[in-house]
Amino acid sequence: MAYDLEEQEQLDSIKAWWAKYGNLVTWLVIVALAAYAAWTCWNTYQSRQAGQASVLYEEQQKSLADKDNAKVQRTAADIQDKFSGTAYAEMSALVAAKSAFDANDTDAARKQLQWVVDHGRGPEYKAIAAVRLAGVMLDAKAYDDALKVLSGDFPAQFAGAIADRKGDVLLAQGKRDEARAAYKLALEKTEAKDPSRQLIQIKLDAIGGEAPKA
């Protein structure tokens, strides 16, 4: 069917535009499709990784219940080696740290907690690991190392626990005034319904402190 003059002009305009920008548009479409394909593959890969890691994590839980610390540690190492990009790596490290601590293997506990602090992707897990690691260091009288671990940037909801642990370390160093300030901050940052407030208050009272005014 013949085109009228106006339609022909529109076709000519489209042809001219395509001649000028067609290659660019084609490449943009290709890039977009490639990005989508990569994103889809990555999500599939991540899902598969998480699924495989969860199987190992369940095995670790069984080993923990059986008090088989050696197997708990091996499983944690496997998850960290093969599935470090999943949350199971951090979770299994924390489990392994507790198992090692209960088995009086403080070196293994410290190693697992340090792994979470150094390589963990979830800020909440890193905060939990930091508090526990500082406790292990406190027991070992590695006070400066403990304070360094606690000096990181952690989620606001952990401010109370971080300050409380700092107070413990500072008190062990004989820095009563600084410890008192840390315990007061811990009380301020800890919710009223949190049962840990009572213990913080006891420690504060023991060094001549007082609760912050409401």
Domain-located, residue 213: no
- Does residue 39 lie in a domain region? yes
Taking 70 as the threshold, does the pLDDT of residue 42 lie above it?
A: no
Domains in the chain, number: 1
Amino acid 84: pLDDT: 86
Residue 90 lies in a domain: yes
Cα distances (Å, whole numbers) of residue 113 to 6, 11, 125, 131: 74, 68, 10, 9
- DSSP class per residue in 52-84: HHHHHHHHHHHHHHTT-HHHHHHHHHHHHHH-T
Q: Could you read off the pLDDT of 79-120 as tens digits, one per residue?
A: 999 988 888 899 999 999 999 999 999 999 999 999 999 998
Residue 47 lies in a domain: yes
Q: What is the mean pLDDT of residues 61-72?
A: 93
Residue 108 lies in a domain: yes
Band of pLDDT at residue 32, cut at 50, 70 and 90: low
Domain boundaries, position 121:
8-206
Q: Is residue 2 part of a domain?
A: no
Q: Which is nearest to 188 in space by CA: 153, 210, 160, 162?
A: 160
17 domain-assigned: yes
Domain of 101, CATH number, reads 1.25.40.10
Per-residue pLDDT of 138-193, as tens digits, reads 999 999 999 999 998 999 999 999 999 999 999 999 999 999 999 999 999 999 88
Instruction: Give me the torsion for CA of 97, 113, 202, 173, rounded to 10°.
Output: 120
CA distances from 205 to 87, 140, 209, 210 (A): 39, 25, 5, 6
Is there a domain that residue 1 lies in? no
